[in-house]
Amino acid sequence: MKNIIEKAPKVANAFWNLTKEITEVYEGDLKNKELVLVGMFAVSGMFSGLETHIQRAVKEGASEDEIVSTILLGIPVVGICRINQAINIAMNIIKGENDENN
């Protein structure tokens, strides 16, 4: 995203405005919004976004079990390989979060 911000700031701003508008119509709380996004990024294989939204979900109070179970829901959609990779990313992030707090 940093290259888009640098090379096409109007496009970046339009993206952020769209994201803001979508977030305003979402009726759930922030933790559940982040969990939904974790699931979407996991099944799409967009692992850099997955990392961002796992970190945000943890910040909003999501537990390890909530994050893992959210990702596991994607197995019937995309299969075990992509979901296994997403679980590995999640566990590395969660371990890092836990290490910082101890």
What pLDDT was estimated at residue 61?
Answer: 97
Q: Is the pTM of this model over 0.95?
A: no
Per-residue pLDDT of the chain (102 residues; tens, 9 = 90+): 889 999 999 999 999 999 999 888 988 899 999 999 999 999 999 998 999 999 999 999 999 999 999 999 999 999 999 999 999 999 999 998 644 443
What pLDDT was estimated at residue 97?
Answer: 60
* Total number of residues shown for the chain: 102
Q: Which spans in the chain are helix H?
A: 2-7, 9-25, 30-44, 47-59, 64-72, 75-78, 80-101
Query: How many CA atoms are closer than 13 Å to the CA of 58, on its beta-carbon side?
Result: 19
